[in-house]
Amino acid sequence: MENWSLISICVLLALTTRWAVSFNSYSGAGKPPMFGDYEAQRHWQEVTYNLPVHEWYLNTTDNDLSYWGLDYPPLTAYHSLLCAYVANLINPAWVELHSSRGHESASHKLFMRTTVLIADVLFYIPAVILYCFYLSNGSSKRKVATALCILLYPGLILIDYGHFQYNSVSLGLALWGVVGLGLGWDLLASLAFTFALNYKQMELYHSLPFFCFLLGKCIKQGIVGRGLFLLLKISSTVLASFALCWLPFLSEPQQVLQVLHRLFPVARGLFEDKVANTWCSLNVLIKIKTLLPREAQLVLSFALTLLLVLPSSLKLLTKPSVWQFKLALVNSSLAFFLFSFQVHEKSILLPALPVCLLINELPLMATWFLSVSTFSMLPLLLKDGLLLPYAVTSLAFLFLSLYLLSALHRSSEEELRLGVLHKLTQRCLSAHNCSLLLKSAFAVSLVTMTVLSTASAVLEPPAALPDLFPVLVSVFSYLHFLASLLYFNLVQLTEPPSRRGHKKVD
């Protein structure tokens, strides 16, 4: 009973924080003619409600794709249609074709914010609670503390309830997939992740670990026996789920090709905004978009992404365990974020989700990464007028993670889980000096983020360098993410064959 009381308080605190952030501004508020992501989501409701399915992704007189054309998979479109039906019942002017463009009102903002909250309650929050209670180690109170820290991760809250998106749906479905695999519900996991992928195509960041885990499990059970039967069941579930999602578009191959064209806009180039990945950071020194043709950029990004994803994926394929799976999710999504084609700053939420799942086992490194991931979106948050919620939620998350999970007290080499490297580092540094060095680096990082956040908010950049602060934020964050990719790969690849608390796959 006490545990349920504590978890109820955690959920209530998480919901209160989300709703408090929702009172702030949103993307593109009062900024015609394009407005922002808030208008994009509203416009998709308008399009899906008023136009036949075959026109949703086509450029027509009633559907101008240059004005926030639908560019997410079918499940997002169906979600928009469902919201549109409710919106039409409340106020038809919110989704009226053409005339509703750019609509802004207090009542509509309340409606839109409520749809995000409902999606969060239905998909993301239950998955977090189930994960913490059934797949994380420690006492009941520690599991509650882990759930609270995950639910108060500021990056997701600020983007969904401030900037305005529905990331909690795709991330929640992906997390249901993680829970399903951890509990041995392979078909549920396959179904949930397939739906996540059909809600947002960026879930491809997580796809290879799901594939390798399930394939590795099938191989381990015997590819000509039980394993083959399991593989057939999983394949049938995935194919049936895809067919269900894409059914309205399957009548004509041209429709499918048009949807895929909208989902993968190669013509937009290697990168656009100041995102904390390799290509944007490298652009400070080498103008790679100018030096290489677009086709070469695409091949280069694909090759590097695949090269960096393969080691962790192959390790997972040969040693499928829940621990290896979580680490592979981090390594895969980070490699995609850092090296793939056309990455947005908000895509850091995809690596952030599996890092959240490691916050109980690796509290200091996870807290550090999650703090930097929120900081990396600072230019976007400042543009949306979200400085105050950014500061408050970031400080609250940092304090709770360090205090409730004792992150600073778990910074020894052994706690960092570097396996065989633990013995090698002992020759260079004592355990005390290594811990002190790590804590010092963490402190310097926090101070630097504070200084850059303050400077970005209150100082005017030099006229000759108008993008100075966004560039500094992205490069600083990129260096952290690159170091994180190296660290989490070392943890996974050097992990001893067996550890207590790591659930194996039979």
- Interval 298-330: pLDDT, tens: 899 999 999 999 999 999 999 999 999 999 999
**pTM of the model as a whole:** 0.94
C-alpha 53/C-alpha 255 separation (Å) is 10
Q: Which two tokens stand for residue 481?
A: 């993410």
C-alpha 457/C-alpha 454 separation (Å) is 5
C-alpha 153/C-alpha 116 separation (Å) is 16
Instruction: Write the DSSP symbol of residue 53.
Output: G
* Helix (H), strand (E), coil (C) string for 317-355: HHCCEHHHHHHHHHHHHHHHHHHCCCCCHHHHHHHHHHH
Q: Name the region of 63 (left: φ>0; alpha: ψ -120 to 50; beta: rest).
A: beta
Note the Cα 58 to chain centre separation in Å. 28
Cα distances (Å, whole numbers) of residue 294 to 145, 265, 267, 308: 47, 12, 8, 21
Percent of the chain with pLDDT over 70: 94
pLDDT of 48 above 90 = yes
pLDDT of 1 above 60 = no
| Helix, strand, coil percent content, the chain, rounded in steps of 5 | 70, 0, 25
pLDDT of 505 above 70 = no
From first CA to last CA, the distance across the chain in angstroms is 33
pLDDT of 93 above 80 = yes
Q: What SS3 state is found at 86?
A: helix
Tell me the angle at which helices 2-22 and 387-404 cross, rounded to the nearest 10 degrees.
160
pLDDT of 78 above 80 = yes
107 burial class (0-12, 13-18, 19+ CB within 10 angstroms)? Answer: exposed
Alpha-helix residue ranges (DSSP H) falling in 222-293? 227-246, 253-263, 278-282, 288-291
**What is the reported pLDDT for 500?**
44
Residues 6+ apart with CB under 8 A from 138: 146, 360
Contact of 120 with 172, CB cutoff 8 Å = yes
220 burial class (0-12, 13-18, 19+ CB within 10 angstroms)? Answer: middle
What is the pLDDT averaged over residues 4-11?
A: 90
C-alpha 85/C-alpha 78 separation (Å) is 11
Q: What is the DSSP string of 168-220?
A: HHHHHHHHHHHHHHHTT-HHHHHHHHHHHHTT-GGGHHHHHHHHHHHHHHHHH
Which residues pair with residue 321 across a beta bridge? 504
**What is the reported pLDDT for 209?**
97
- Interval 469-499: pLDDT, tens: 999 999 999 999 999 999 999 999 987 655 5
Contact of 419 with 437, CB cutoff 8 Å = no
